[in-house]
């Protein structure tokens, strides 16, 4: 068995915690959705009606 030194554990912790920082963030897009008769569902939601806006993960929606 190996004895892990505190320096080795600290180094491994720092590497694991900073690894996500090296991955570039995806570009965010800001979408604006205005309220209008074609974008608001009154009473119930019709599943056959097409989506009025499609977004990607991390995108921003202004309503």
33 in any annotated domain: yes
Contacts of 35 (CB under 8 A, 6+ apart): 63
The predicted-structure confidence for 19-47, as pLDDT tens digits, reads as follows: 666 656 667 899 999 999 888 888 888 88
Q: How many helices (H) and strands (E) does the chain have?
A: 1, 2
pLDDT attached to residue 27: 76
53 in any annotated domain: yes
Question: Are 28 and 58 a contacting pair, CB within 8 Å?
Answer: yes
- State the residue range of the domain holding 56: 26-63
Q: Compute the average pLDDT of residues 5-9.
A: 79
User: Is residue 1 pLDDT above 80, yes or no?
Assistant: no
pLDDT attached to residue 2: 63
Question: Are 42 and 18 a contacting pair, CB within 8 Å?
Answer: no
47 in any annotated domain: yes
42 in any annotated domain: yes
User: Is residue 58 pLDDT above 80, yes or no?
Assistant: yes
46 in any annotated domain: yes
Quote the number of domains for the chain.
1
State how far the Cα of 29 lies from the Cα of 61, in Å rounded to an integer: 8
2 in any annotated domain: no
Residue with tokens 């963030």: 25
7 in any annotated domain: no
10 in any annotated domain: no
């Amino acid at each position: 068995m190996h004895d892990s030194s505190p320096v080795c554990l600290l180094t491994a912790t720092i590497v694991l915690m900073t690894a996500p920082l090296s991955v570039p963030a995806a570009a965010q897009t800001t979408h604006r959705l205005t309220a209008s008769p074609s974008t608001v569902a009154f009473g119930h939601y019709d599943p056959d009606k097409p989506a009025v806006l499609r977004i990607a993960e991390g995108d921003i929606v202004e309503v």
